[in-house]
Structure 1
Amino acid sequence: MSRARNNNVRGPTSALTEFLRASGITPTTVARRAATQQGQQQQAAAGPSNDDSQQQQDQAVSSSVSGRPSRAASRRGASRRESGYGSDNLDEDDEENREEEKDENGAEEEEAVEEPERNSPAPAKKRKLTKAAEAKLKAQEKKKAKGKGKKGSGDEYEDDDDPYTSLSKSMWSNGSKPPVGDFENCAKCEKQFTVTKYTMAANPGPGWLCHVCAKASGKDPFKKPAAPRKRKAPGDKREVVHFVENRLPTLVNLCIKVVTQHIDDVESLGDIGTLNVEAIAKAMAKNRSLTTENAKLFYNTTNSKLVLYDATNLPSSAFESLVYLNPNLTSLRLDFCGQLDDPAFKVFTTSLPALERIELLGPFLVRSPAWKDFIKAHPNLEGFLITQSPRFDLDCLRELVSHCTGLKELRLKEFGKMSDAFLDEIADNLGGQGDSESILEYLDISSPGGESCSDAAVVNLLSAIGGSLRYLDVSKHDLLTDEFLLGGLQQHTHSLESLSIAHCPEITSKALASLFNEWENPPLVSLDASRNPELQTDALEAIMKHSGSRLENLNINGWKDVEENGLRDIGRKGKEMRKLDVGFCRNVDDFIIKAWLEGEDVKGRKKGGCTELVELKVWGCNRVTPNCPKKLGLALHGVESHIIKRT
């Protein structure tokens, strides 16, 4: 047993302990110094007649001279660790541990005193003090000398600043915290509770508080610390010119605020007029300020048409009030009506008997049974334009095309359940029968939520209703190919005015050029063929040759490979052009824009030019410089120098 105890095996120590040991600070030296100071204090308090104190002091001095701590000092160190001072003695030497065990057993006490020190580590070199530390130490010794014999002197507190004898953190917090999961009694309400990591110490101590008493004291134990603010990394400052911060409210905002505050007295203004009411509705939509209170401005029992461009803030009950206060509506448009649900839509079914056209954007909450009841109650519908309705299924469409056979406008945009079966139902029920032709003029089946419809289904649909169509939108049906163009549009449509084939990547430039070169359809007014990067110059030249004399809106955004000659054709033949989007066409530059705005010189005379152009978008055209020509009344968007402010 003695050999096992006298070995020099040590456990792992912390980095702080190793640093202090290298600096000459060990538990032995700390205990020695504490014993010396305590002996001096006891001698000063009891006087020279106290033999025990004198004996303890002599022992402390002799132990400091010999380099070994006395047994009394060892006992005091052990009692200090038991009372909460152990945070300063994390790693003690095996020699001292052996002495403590021998003191407790009472059998090996003398053996520990006479044991040679060959197994103990060599004493560390004493740390050299700085001049400031030496001056401070001398001043403290002078004060101690003056205060000898004075009981209760205030100079006794000078020793509290000493880092080796100061109280550990555990003493300031009423002792070490009990382990998580233990039971403790609350210091305030004396009820037993389970200790968690959120348990807080009582103030004043001692003891610990339960969660209820901790909250009652004004401190929330569950409060999370505030996250530190992240500093923004320095970078290039970019300023978008088109969006300017309004420091002062505009006149429109002030008018809307006044009207909202005095909505009950708005009738005293008299007849505002239909145009003014629509202008106010658009202005309120920009600020999203339409509420249940100010929506009454647009209600009237004589209204036959109602348009709300942003109904985001209207709850379900507000839609019911809308119907009750406008019972004679024949046309209703509600944008962003996401809070319209089945109970409110049931009021639409029962209280709008004259409704002929309905246009809704975002009726997500209306379910299939509510749609069916509404369709059955309005067989005279001529316009059914719905965008983003995930619950409108094939059964609802069957009810629609079977009951509302007089439909002229049909929009099923961004429908998640769109499929070829939808198109077959429309073709079978709304197509021409016998010698009679279909009356459907407007069809929008763009942006299907699932898979794209096939060529066969679209061609079959056009063969049934294509003769009467004036507007067709099949954007984002990415499975449509050249068969849709040549076998569907070219063969079955003869009165189309607006066509949208955006994001149909399977369509080739050759097929599109062939369509416009041989198409018997009148010139188009609007064409959107954007997001088709494979389309090239031959297709653009065919488009301008066929429809340039009447074309007002043209979008070829993404035609990256179109050549300069094809772009100049827009200015030569597009005399009626009003809105033009040529974003990401690489060959657009200042000279082409000049030819569009001013025309081209032909034998000293200006010819051509888009004289009616009011909007031009050149996003991604990096050859357009700040010196590009401009025109009064033209809105030019996308010039990089207008977007990025260089510093």
Structure 2
Amino acid sequence: MWCNLLVHRQPRGAPLGKMSRRRSNGNAIRGPQSALTDFLASHNISAQQINLDYQARVQDAQRQAEAAAAETAAEAHEEVSDQEEDAAERKKRKRKEEKAIAKIKASKEFKKRKFEHQQDDPDADSDSDALARDMLKKPKAPPKPGQFANCEVCEKRFTVTPYTLSGQDGGLLCTKCGKEIKDEKKKSDNAAKKKKQAPRVRKRQQESDRMMGDVRPGAKSLVEVCVKKVADVVNDIEEFGDIPQNLLDRLSQILSKKRVLNPRTLQLFLQPGIDRIAVYDCAKLETEDFEKIFAFMPDVERINLRFAGQLKDEALRYMIEKNPKITHLQLGATNLVSDEVWTELFLTRGSQLESLKLSELNDSMKDSTVQVLAESCTNLKRLKLRSCPHMTEASINSISTLTTLEHLTLAVAQDSPPDILVNLITNLGPKLKTLCLEDYYYADDAVLEAIKNTCTHLKKLRLTGSSSFTDLTLSSLFDSNSGNPPIPFIDLSSNRDVEYQNPVADDNDTEEDPIGFGSTAMKALMSHSGSKMTRLDLHSNRHISHDALTTVFDGKIQYPELRDIDLSFVSHVDDVVMTGIFRSCPKLEKLTVFACFSAKEVVIPQGIAVIGLPNAQSAVEIMGDA
């Protein structure tokens, strides 16, 4: 049975949007056009907005075309008007143009472009007028944000934004090229910044060298450069080889200053054929490292170990047993060594010791131990004892029996009365070449008289920290009629009574016999020892007047050997005094003037290290200046 069915077929080629179907329930199925509209609406895309943007672009293109046509018409009109203008107007316009061209030719930009043009094509004839006319033309306005432009570097077409960068030739850069150039500029700026900071590092090193007195102009010696280079790469070195002893000492100083002297680097200094060892910073060494020193160097004669906090009894006993040739011993901060072992050292090796220097012994070196030292070290020529708080007046009396001493430095039992020091100086003075009594507060004029009468062969004198010396007695110590020879090394610093107030005698700031080193002693000292003096330390001596300083340093009196002067905290030092010092001391290398605030604008000769004066390096006169 045939059923009458009506079948609707979609013609071939007909658009899909016109297709329609019926669901079984009678509802219509939505077509693709309606689905597309919903998709655009969900993504905030409006067909009307798309149409408006398209119309705007079309209108913008039309405006640009009309502007170009108008510009072409204007140029054509100008050409016609130029032909029609009369001779007077043409002459006036030409005169203005020539004036503008002449102004352009006189500018730096024109000279720069002309030079670049000649560099690019040396054989081509440079037409100055043509180049000036090109510069006279108004530059074309760059594209605005939203418009298209070609990248100056890669010539890629891109959309201009407010963040688009400009190129070196005036064009614009795309995002990729702009980022690359920005990164390159950042790297170059960082490199320039580091290069700019380099002189600051060199200045710091220069100031460090000046503090050490190294002021030699020009390049450093090849030996010094090599030694510092070795110190920089010391962790990569397996052995030093046959290096002279003086260079080993210099390497030890540099490594100690850098705090890199450890058990590994110590091994480089342990050479059996060397008779001396100097380690200026033993803070990173252990007890086993000290025993290794004494085991690897059985023939060592000179030992210098500073800050040896881990040197204990067993290590010192090992040294006594394994090193029979020791003649010079210097130990610092060996607080873990007991008096029993010190006594054993003096009884066993004391008779062969010629030099003994001990310092910072907070838990040992009592009076009984010092008595054993004095009885056993019968050939001792040099003794230095500092910061040994257990020593008292009895220790100084024991030291007074060491009549073989030629060099004595004491900074122990500093509250001893003057008669103890007088007895010490009277017994040892005739043979002494070095006498250093540091910070003996109660030392008075009787001590000075003992020094004057008995110490007739001194090459070095250090008397510091006294509040009892008087200016008149100090001046008599340097009496030219006494027959005592000049003393090359003088340190009379901090000799003043802080609470003493003496009225000024006259208008020249001269005080009447003050307590401490004053003007009278200053004149007597320079008159007596100035001809042979090499070092002078008078810091913190407040009673030296300006008149005394200008008298002894007047620029006419010469001190030919004086190389190092310390006048810190001497308030009367000013530009006049410093200028006189420079003229009176032709071999001066180092001048220390901390807290000398009156010295401000002095010109410093080359080759002199001035320490303590702000911006002293900028005041150094140029080579060749008078």
- Name the SS of the counterpart of 2:263 in structure 1: coil
| 2:342–2:369 Cα contact (<8 Å) kept | yes
Aligned residue for 2:440? 477
Distance 2:605 2:524 in 1: 28
1:364 to 335, 358, 372: 335
Aligned to 2:361: 389
Is the Cα contact below 8 Å between 1:593 and 1:629 reproduced in 2? Answer: no
Q: Does structure 2 conserve the Cα–Cα contact (< 8 Å) formed by 1:241 and 1:643?
A: no
**1:466 paired to 2:429:** yes
How many angstroms apart in 2 are the aligned matches of 1:285 and 1:521?
A: 41
Which of 631, 634, 644 pairs up with 2:608?
634
Alignment of 1:91-170 (within 5 A): none
Deviations 1:207-236 (A, max 9, x none): xxxxxxxxxxxxxxxxxxxxxxxxxxxxxx
The answer to whether residue 384 in structure 2 is matched with residue 421 in structure 1 is no
User: Structure 2: any 5+ residue segments left out of the alignment?
Assistant: 1-199, 208-224, 497-515, 619-626
Change (3 A) 1:351 1:256: same
Question: Does residue 588 of the first structure (1) align with residue 573 of the second (2)?
Answer: yes
Counterpart pick for 2:415 among 446, 449, 452: 452
Structure 2 distance, partners of 1:296, 1:306, is 12
Q: Is the 8 A contact 1:348 1:374 kept in 2?
A: no
Give the whole-Å Cα distance in 2 for the aligned partners of 1:244 and 1:282.
16
Query: Any residues of structure 2 matched to 1:159-308 within 5 Å, and which?
Result: 243=204, 255-263=230-238, 266=239, 270-308=241-279
Distance 1:451 1:316, change over 3 A: same
Cα distance in 2 between the residues matched to 1:530 and 1:643: 26
1:424/1:242 Cα in 2 relative to 1: closer, same or farther (>3 Å)? farther
Aligned residue for 1:384, secondary structure, equals strand
Q: Does 1:408 align with 2:371?
A: no
Which letter does structure 1 place at the counterpart of 2:356? Answer: F
User: Given that residues 435 and 462 in structure 2 are in contact (C-alpha distance below 8 angstroms), is that contact kept between their aligned partners in structure 1?
Assistant: yes
Matched, 1:610 2:585: yes
CA contact (8 A) 1:452 1:476 kept: no
TM-aligned CA deviation for residue 297 of structure 1: 1.3
Distance of aligned partners of 1:382 and 1:361 in 2 relative to their CA distance in 1, 3 Å threshold = same
Partner Cα separation in structure 2 for residue 535 and residue 241 of structure 1: 39
Q: Is the 8 A contact 1:561 1:586 kept in 2?
A: no
Residue type at the aligned position of 1:581 = D
Shift in Å at residue 483 of structure 1?
0.9
For these two proteins, the number of residue pairs brought into alignment is: 378
Structure 1 position 490 matched with structure 2 position 475:
no
Cα deviations by residue, 1:477-531 (Å, 9 ceiling, x for unpaired): 1011111101x10121110111111111111111101121254321101111111
**What CA distance in whole angstroms lies between the structure 1 residues aligned with 2:473 and 2:558?**
22
1:556–1:581 contact (8 Å) kept in structure 2? yes
1:321 and 1:629 map into 2 onto residues whose CA distance is: 53
- Residues 240, 643 of structure 1: 8 Å contact kept: no
Change (3 A) 1:545 1:245: closer
Residue pair 1:509, 1:539 contacting (<8 A) in 2 also? yes
Tell me the secondary structure at the aligned position of residue 430 of structure 1.
Answer: coil
- Give the drift of 1:241: 10
User: Which segments of 5 or more consecutive residues in structure 1 lack a partner in the other structure?
Assistant: 1-238, 432-438, 599-608
Matched-pair identity in %: 24
On the 8 A contact 1:420/1:453 being kept in 2, the answer is yes
Provide the rounded CA distance (Å) in 1 between the counterparts of 2:258 and 2:377. Answer: 37
What is the CA deviation profile of residues 315-348 of structure 1, one whole-angstrom value per residue up to 9, with x for unaligned ones? 1110000000011011111111111111111111
2:538 to 536, 546, 556: 556
RMSD, aligned α-carbons: 2.5
Q: Deviations over 1:348-386 (max 9, x none)?
A: 111110101101121111110010111112121111111
SS in 1 for 2:490: strand
- Residue 490 of structure 1 contacts residue 520 of structure 1 at CA under 8 Å; is this kept in 2? no
| Residue identity matched to 2:582 | L
The structural deviation recorded for 1:631 is 1.6
Given that 1:335 and 1:361 are in contact with CA atoms closer than 8 Å, whether structure 2 keeps it comes out as yes
Write the letter of the residue equivalent to 2:342: W
Of residues 501, 518, 523, the one that matches 2:486 is 523
- Residues 488 and 529, structure 2, Cα contact 8 Å, conserved in 1: yes
- Please state how far the C-alpha of 1:244 moved relative to its aligned partner: 6.2
Looking at structure 2, the residues matched to 567 and 242 of structure 1 have their Cα atoms a distance apart, in angstroms, of 32
Structure 1 runs of 4+ aligned residues shifted over 4 Å read 239-246, 250-254, 641-644
- Does structure 2 conserve the Cα–Cα contact (< 8 Å) formed by 1:305 and 1:331? yes
Could you report, residue by residue, the CA deviation over 1:122-147 in whole angstroms, capped at 9, with x for unpaired residues?
Answer: xxxxxxxxxxxxxxxxxxxxxxxxxx
**Partner SS for 1:376:** helix
Match of 1:380 among 352, 356, 363: 352
Letter in 2 for 1:319: F
Is the contact made by 2:306 and 2:333 (CA closer than 8 Å) also made in structure 1? yes
Which residue does the alignment assign to 1:337?
Answer: 308
For 1:555-574, what aligned pairs fall within 5 Å after superposition?
Answer: 555-568=537-550, 569-570=552-553, 572-574=557-559
Q: Residues 276 and 529 (structure 1 numbering): CA distance in 2 closer, same or farther, change over 3 Å? A: same
1:545 aligns with 2:507: no
Q: Which amino acid aligns with 1:345?
A: L
Matched, 1:328 2:308: no
1:512 matches 2:474: yes
Q: Is the 8 A contact 2:275 2:302 kept in 1?
A: yes
| Residues in 2 aligned to 1:380 and 1:408: alpha-carbon distance in whole angstroms | 11
Distance 1:643 1:550, change over 3 A: closer
Aligned partner of residue 420 in structure 2, secondary structure: helix
Kept in 1, the 8 Å contact 2:414–2:439? The answer is: no
TM-score for the superposition, normalised by structure 1: 0.56
SS of corresponding position for 2:231: helix
SS in structure 2 of the partner of residue 301 of structure 1: coil
Name the SS of the counterpart of 2:468 in structure 1. Answer: coil
**In 1, distance between residues paired with 2:340 and 2:254?**
36
**8 Å Cα contact 1:309-1:336 kept in structure 2:** yes
Q: Is the 8 A contact 1:327 1:352 kept in 2?
A: yes
Q: CA deviation at 1:289?
A: 0.7
Distance 2:251 2:268 in 1: 10
